[in-house]
Every structure is written in C-alpha cells, then in structure tokens.
Amino acid sequence: MSDLELQGKTALVTGASKGIGKASALKLASMGANVAVNYYSSKNEALDTVKQIKSLGVDSIATQANVGKLDEVDLMISEVTNKFEKIDILVNNAGIIHDGLLLRMSDDAWANVIDTNLNGTFYCSRAAIKLMFKSKWGRIINIGSVVGLRGNVGQTNYSASKAAINGFTFALAKEVATRNITVNTITPGYINTDTVEVLSDKQKEAIMSWIPMQKFGDVEDISNMVGYLASNSARYITGQTISIDGGMAI
C-alpha cells in the first residue's frame, strides 16, 4: 500500500467518534482519503476526530445520524455528498448492545439492536452503492463481531444482527462484483475499547480463557485491516469474513 493511495477518495465511517470507528477514520485519512465522521450522540468526540483528520492534510466533516432510521441516513448521505460529491468507501461500524437473556429480553432491546446494527448497514450500503455505481469503484467494509460466528450468552439480539451482516456481505458482494466494488466483513474479537474497559477483572479473566493468544486486541488491529481492504492491494478480495480475534473463533 502506498502512503497516499486513497488520495481523492471519500470515505464515510459510521460510529466514528471513538473506538474502532475513530481508528478506522484516521487510518483512511492517513492514506489520503477525505472522511465523513458519523456519530449519534458523541458530538464533541466526533468534532475531535474531525480535527485530528484535518491535521493529516485532508478534509473532514462530522455528520449526526441514527443509522437505524432511514430518514436520518438520507439526510446524512445528502450532507456528505453536498460536501464531497461522492462516497467511495463506506465503513459500517456503528453498532449498539442491549444485553439480556432471551427470556427477559424486551421487544425494544431486540428491535433497537437490529435497527442500528443490521438495518443501519442496509440503509447506508444501499445509498452508497448508488454512488459507487456512478464512479465504477467502491469499497464497503462491514464491522461484524466474533459473536456473530460463535454466539454469546445474553446476546441473542447482538449475535443475530452480526451474523446477518455476514450473509448480507456474501450476497451483496456477488451483486456488485462486476462493478469494481468489493464488500467484506471484519469480525473483531474483544478489543481494548470503552466496552471492554468497563468489564470487571473477573469478567476479563473469563473472556481471556476463550482467547488462544491470551490478550485483547487494539483498535489499530482492526483499522489496519480496514485500510488494507480499502486499498488497491485488496482489489481481488470480496465476500469475505475476516476474523481479527486472537484465535477466539477457532
């Protein structure tokens, strides 16, 4: 990968105010892409991400939207295209959790997770694909999860949403393969983010026993793959689910 091989490209990263989304946005910016930073509620963090991106010599905007709501996605896409005219790279990273055993899971807990994680991926991808067809080039990179491959107690909603993204990726990759557009999913394991930091030591010890490498990953482990999949080096990779989890899904 050349240092600025994405120069002139525009990326939209959802849920990019912190964590994996922020790291991915910064990675793409370091490769020369202009980046739209989507956020839902973390406005100050999103603006800080924009500031860091601009310091790399490219342009950026923050755009607020709940990706699980179609009208908000439409407004976000309009804002991005009004600024940059196109979207070449879409990273579907926005996601939420609302854990609980199925017997006690509320309808809202199920619906909200499906809306954000799965429907948001659908809404954003459908809008971006239309723009990518015009450019005859595109990259869609979905952020799934190891629990979409192996499940997890108390996460039927989250596991279902992430497993569905894998099937979505397979099908969409076939639909757009002749248009110079690739579609792939990265399935992270436990990564050092806010979600992991709030776990108790006992919980961390239990999780560590599931990971052959005996350590949590860093956001850069994911963002480096995002950068690779967006690059020309990955032009012949599509429809793949790539696990970055320290061996957890083995």
Q: Which of 123, 158, 190, 228 is catalytic?
A: 158
Is residue 158 among the annotated active site residues?
A: yes
Residue of 35, 27, 31, 40 whose CA lies nearest to 6: 31
User: Which residues are annotated as catalytic?
Assistant: 158
